[in-house]
């Protein structure tokens, strides 16, 4: 299989007072990476945490892949602090930059600071706007809810974006985030997503290990059909 299926729980839905314990539990139950939602109260109408919290978590959890989903208005501002905090992949939003010609500069700065590059799209943003930037990134994140809050309903229509990306970029890592769980994973997997962010669907499950395994199996099964 050309691409790996990866499951990344969103810790936004976890008990943030016990972030290390909750994160270790997710890792023990089979999580491939941790998806860390960083919100500034401006780009999205909510606040979460910043690089100091990420750095504290990294000091406790040494070897797990950290992706920061930067829902912030000035993604360039936080590249160096997040690199210093031990982040592995820095995913910023296309919509956060007023001057689109600056996207290559942001991507370059992320790489210069030793991190992988992700670019995200809100639901109302057409997918073709990032076509020229895809060679610069490691991953495209398709939001399947409006970013800013957990627990929203999954937007089925976003799977058209995922399918377009998979049809045109068969080796691209495509991530989906928002309302993803056992009831919606089939749509994501069949459209071609291989990085799966799930918050409530995993965090609140009575058996996290079983849910993570179910999500991964769905993606792997779809990819076997896609590449057979």
Beta-carbon contacts of residue 126 (< 8 Å; ≥ 6 apart): 161
Under 8 Å between Cβ of 144 and 158: yes
What CA–CA distance (Å, rounded) separates 23 from 34? 8
Alpha-helix runs per DSSP H in 126-207: 159-168, 185-191, 200-203
Active-site annotation holder among 37, 84, 105, 167: 37
Under 8 Å between Cβ of 75 and 96: yes
Residue 115 has φ and ψ, to the nearest 5°, of -115, 155
Check if 37 is active-site.
yes
Alpha-helix runs per DSSP H in the chain: 19-28, 51-60, 79-84, 103-112, 159-168, 185-191, 200-203, 208-226
Residues serving a catalytic function are 37, 177
């Amino acid at each position: 299989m050309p691409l790996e299926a990866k499951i990344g729980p969103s810790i936004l839905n976890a008990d943030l007072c016990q972030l290390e314990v909750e994160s270790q539990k997710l890792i023990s139950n089979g999580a491939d990476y941790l998806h860390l939602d960083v919100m500034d109260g401006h780009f999205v109408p909510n606040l979460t945490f910043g690089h100091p919290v990420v750095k504290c978590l990294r000091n406790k959890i040494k070897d797990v892949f950290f992706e920061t989903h930067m829902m912030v208005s000035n993604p360039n501002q936080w590249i160096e602090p997040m690199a210093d905090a031990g982040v592995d992949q820095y995913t910023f939003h296309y919509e956060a930059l007023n001057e689109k010609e600056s996207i290559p500069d942001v991507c370059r700065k992320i790489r210069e600071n030793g991190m992988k590059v992700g670019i995200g799209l809100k639901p109302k943003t057409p997918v073709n706007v990032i076509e020229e930037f895809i060679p610069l990134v490691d991953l495209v994140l398709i939001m399947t809810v409006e970013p800013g809050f957990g627990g929203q309903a999954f937007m089925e229509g976003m799977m058209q974006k995922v399918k377009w990306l998979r049809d045109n970029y068969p080796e691209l890592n495509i991530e989906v985030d928002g309302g993803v769980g056992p009831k919606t994973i089939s749509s994501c997997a069949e459209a071609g997503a291989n990085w799966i962010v799930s918050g409530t669907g995993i965090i609140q499950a009575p058996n996290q290990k079983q849910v993570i395994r179910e999500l991964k199996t769905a993606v792997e099964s779809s990819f076997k059909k896609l590449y057979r």
